[in-house]
Chain A
Amino acid sequence: MAKTVRETIKDITKHHLLEKKSMCFGQCLTAVGWVGGTLPELYEEDGMVEVTTADVANGGFVVGAALKGIRPIYVVRYQGFQWYNAPIIINYACKSKEIWGIPCPIFVRSIAMEGAIGPVAGSSHHSLFQRMPGSKIISPMTPDEFDFAYKEFMKDDDVYYVSEHRRSYDNSEELKNVIQQDADFTLFPISITRFDAEKARLILKEQGYKINIIHQLWIKPFLFKKEWREALNSSKHGGMVLDDDYEEGAASSIAHSMMIDSEKKVYTFGLEHRTAGFHPDVDNLPPSPESIAERVKSIINK
């Protein structure tokens, strides 16, 4: 049976601690569930380090460990908690190479999840890191992509913000781009929206629309590949960046880069610009397949 994203992360973590003699820091790691089953059952003597509940300080501990050259993994169990965890990572680790010539690489596993978790914990918050210098942001949703993210990190000396999503952990399939001649529209989905973009494509196909999908693994640095530009330019009605974060961040920034460098309009569709509540009626979820299909049709038929 093919390996899932969950097993891939677990194996990589085990390798990183036991073979590379590094450390993995986080809150409540060894509690029931081991972070959605993504961690091997290891303890402090093996490098699996339970930190305090002081999120801001915890971010600092990991920066200090990284300064000692151990390339730590830092697990932040809900991306919303980055508002407390990110400050020292962004301001010290991400700047250390430029100010002092001392790299401070950290593999920040930042986990998104949504649905009934209220105003602060849910969704992705990679835009928080995206607007500041000194980090790379990658959002792997498949086993090969996670493996790739880790290998890139190990070759590199930057802080990696790895924007994960719990809904991807069961996935064992790779996601492929769909690029067609004379498409009506191109979707550029990020994170968990990549799965729903594929469903939206099928809904729209049934209704006679030809939709491209170009998966966005790297959020930063954003590299607009030639074949993506060509696919966008040959899409009749332009494209749309889909995200699991608020639209006013990475999605808008990527859409802007695409528009500057193409002849088409690129729209954005992510979380609504409002606070999520707990009840389904007031939640704020990433775009569903149906809502993506509706949004695309409303642009095409404008």
Chain B
Amino acid sequence: MKDFRLEVFKKASLCRNFENILYEKVQEKLIKFPVYLSAGQEFIASTIAEKISELKISPDIFIQHRGHSTYLAFGGSIDQLIDEMLGRKTGCALGMGGSASIQCKEKNIFGHDGLMGNQVPIGVGACFASKCPTIVFVGDSAAEEDYCLSAIGWASTKKLPILFVVEDNNLSILTEKKVRRNWEMHDVAQGMHVKSFNISDDPLEINEHLQNVFDYPILLNINTVRKYWHAGAGTDGDNFDRYEKELSYFGDAGIEIDKFNKNLVLEAWQRQLEKQ
């Protein structure tokens, strides 16, 4: 049997290395549009993607603007993501999506248009029409949009097979949650009769809460830490880093996986840049 935590780490390692290398490309000014790095938050998508692959299903996925890790964890092509960063027609969003509006048709990942939280009602509507498993990712700030809240309510009313994942990094750009609201998403969703949990981005804890996923609407408010700036390449200081924790847990095996993924991403960049 596969080691769940290790499989999650492999995915997260790909995501982290992708973001770290992209960070450099942004600093080198190879990319001139806003880039929303998801480093620090990669265990959310990686854990859910691993669970989904265990379940052998391919749900529709509605992504948020900070979505590189979601895209990669669910199996989106790295070459097409690089091409997208380079604004090429061969990019995953035809060169139109930049960093915020990526998609992957093969993996049922629907792009985000840049209006925060749009993906919540859209995902709910798609799920209502298909009645098939659907996952919607949303930030803690975007979740405040009125249309997100009412969409969660309607998903509950219609008992849809949907999973809402609030990637709660406590920040809206740099504004903290406590400045913006005195309530929590899991409480609101619970009030709407959605099974809701407030948890950390520890893969085992996330997995525990995915036991009945798609049997009814579930909302996971997952507390996480954004490693880099809201947009662009920079850091706001040294914060808790789940990746470091998991890396040290796996010891040498973890270091090997990290190296492997770093090379994989570097080679992909080289391949794509040479293609020009």
Interface residues of A (CB under 8 A from B): 23, 49, 51-52, 54, 56-68, 70, 72, 87-88, 91-92, 95-96, 98-102
Contact = CB atoms under 8 A, between A and B. Distances in A.
Given A52-B150, A88-B122, A95 B113 contact: yes
Nearest to B150: A54
20 contacts: A52-B157, A54-B153, A59-B121, A60-B121, A60-B122, A61-B122, A61-B151, A64-B126, A65-B128, A66-B125, A67-B110, A68-B130, A70-B129, A87-B115, A88-B147, A91-B113, A92-B115, A100-B94, A100-B111, A102-B105
A56 B146 contact: yes
A60 B94 contact: no
B96 A64 contact: no
Nearest to A53: B150
Contact of A64 (B94, B114, B121, B148): B121
Contact of A99 (B113, B123, B151, B157): B113
Contacts of B146: 54, 56-57
B122 A67 contact: yes
A64 B150 contact: no
Interface string B139-179: 00000001110110110010000000000000000000000
Nearest to A69: B129
Nearest to B104: A100
B97 interface: yes
Contacts of B99: none
Contacts of B101: 99-100
B217 to A, nearest CB: 14
Contact of B154 (A51, A56, A67): A51
B85 interface: no
A100 B103 CA distance: 7
Contacts of A23: 129
Decide if the interface of chain A is mainly helix, strand, loop or mixed. helix
Nearest to A49: B128
A99 B93 CA distance: 6
Contact of B118 (A92, A99, A100, A102): A92
A23 B154 CA distance: 16
A92 B113 contact: yes
A64 B154 contact: no
Nearest to A99: B96
Interface of B: 93-94, 96-97, 101, 103, 105, 110-111, 113-115, 118, 120-130, 146-148, 150-151, 153-154, 157
Contacts of B118: 60, 88, 91-92
B147 A63 contact: no
A59 B120 CA distance: 12
B154 A52 contact: yes
B145 to A, nearest CB: 8
Given A88-B118, A95-B113, A64 B125 contact: yes
Given A72-B129, A99-B113, 17 more contacts: A54-B150, A54-B151, A54-B153, A57-B120, A58-B121, A60-B151, A61-B121, A61-B122, A61-B125, A62-B125, A64-B128, A65-B129, A67-B122, A88-B122, A91-B114, A91-B118, A99-B111
The CB with the most chain A CB atoms within 10 A, among B94, B121, B124, B157, is that of B121
A68 B129 contact: yes
B128 A61 contact: yes
A245 B129 CA distance: 33
Contacts of A52: 150, 153-154, 157
The CB with the most chain B CB atoms within 10 A, among A49, A59, A92, is that of A92
B6 to A, nearest CB: 34
Given A54-B146, A100-B97, A63 B154 contact: no
Contact of B123 (A59, A64, A87, A102): A64
Contacts of B120: 57, 60
Contacts of A66: 125
Which residue, A64, A96, A99, A101, has most C-beta atoms of chain B within 10 A? Answer: A64
B110 A61 contact: no
A68 B93 contact: no
